[in-house]
Amino acid sequence: MSSQTNLYITKMRPQEILMPVTAGLCCKLGGFHIDPVRPVERAVITHGHSDHARPGHGAVLATQETLDMMRLRYGDNFARTTQAIRYGEKLRLGDVTVRFHPAGHVLGSAQIEVACNGTRIVASGDYKDAVDPTCAPFEAVHCDVFITEATFGLPVFRHGGAADEVKKLLASVSLFPERAHLVGAYSLGKAQRVIALLRIAGYDAPIYLHGAMEKITRYYQSRGVALGDLRSVKGAKKADLAGTITLAPPTATSDIWTRRFPDPVTAFASGWMRVRARARQRGVELPLVISDHADWDGLTATIEATAAGEVWVTHGQEDALVHWCTTKGLAARPLDLVGYGEEDEGETTLSESGET
């Protein structure tokens, strides 16, 4: 057989490597699913958010941090067996090779490269190309097919610098020393990033935590993320909370729980805070545009950086991004995967919590 025919035979069609099915992205040749939304025999997981990392699988392959977060949230028996993999490490699974690369989304988050006979697909999970002191920076990986999310896949979404948003928060704290500042933030990733940014901005007073985010925040500290003096808000006296900052899950900042704070200023750290109506609707006094997802410029720059000829778009605002790809001469299609975008900045989280 000539080498030419060989090349022709060995180059695989991407759909033979990864296929969207009800349970998630399926790799038949490797015998696994990526971020399955239903229990499967073998799961390969991008990061710890609950819409991607679910309990009940047979075997789970993920970074050590993702495995630890799953254990913290679901208990020791969240899967039958687990295997940790490092960024850059190559692993043979069935007929494919799998490699993890940093996704810059939350601690331990990874893009998953699946390669077979010269065809390379990268499933990026959730990602951002913006700087984040709490996790390894995003790495663009050259590939044939890039699978991208589209949470903020509209040109109106431009997040700006997170450090500037944190300065706004600090300005408000010094303007209202008699009031407490309550910052709504998702408990895995966003909360720790806001705390780290406050420390980098020079804020060294104790920062208070809602009980629901203590475990995961302590875990970040145990992995060497510098977060300074953190205290439990439980048991703190109302008067002592004047002039302080407390991080809490988004739903807590609008309920009865806030009565323990003196005249609280309510802030919310989310990419959706770019939309004023959303902030108003939630009763957010101080919107902070801080997102752990790539904005429009981040999504399009990343697609270009991967040099992929084909793009598959998963959860979020697929249409605009698919259209942008086709104007750039790239083959693109929405994957219509169901079940993502529920934990962090997905639409559902916001509408649900907006009602309370």
Binding site for Zn ion (CB under 5 A): 49, 126, 340, 344
C-beta of 126 vs 144, nearer to Zn ion:
126
C-beta of 66 vs 244, nearer to Zn ion:
66
Q: What is the spatial distance between Cα 313 and Cα 26, in angstroms, rounded to a whole number?
A: 15
DSSP 260-286: GSSSPEEEEE-GGGGSHHHHHHTT-SE
Supply the Cα-derived Rg of the chain in whole angstroms: 21
Least distance to Zn ion, CB of residue 49, Å: 4
C-beta of 10 vs 64, nearer to Zn ion:
64
C-beta of 100 vs 340, nearer to Zn ion:
340
Tokens 């500042």 belong to: 181
Alpha helices per DSSP H over the chain: 3-10, 14-17, 64-74, 162-175, 190-200, 214-222, 276-281, 296-306, 318-327, 347-354
How many other CB atoms sit within 10 Å of the CB of residue 116?
21
Least distance to Zn ion, CB of residue 199, Å: 23
Tokens 């406050």 belong to: 198
Least distance to Zn ion, CB of residue 342, Å: 8
Least distance to Zn ion, CB of residue 46, Å: 8
C-beta of 318 vs 344, nearer to Zn ion:
344
C-beta of 47 vs 99, nearer to Zn ion:
47
- Burial 206-245, CB ≥16 within 10 A → b, else e: ebbbbeebbebbebbeeeebebeebeebeebeeeebeebb
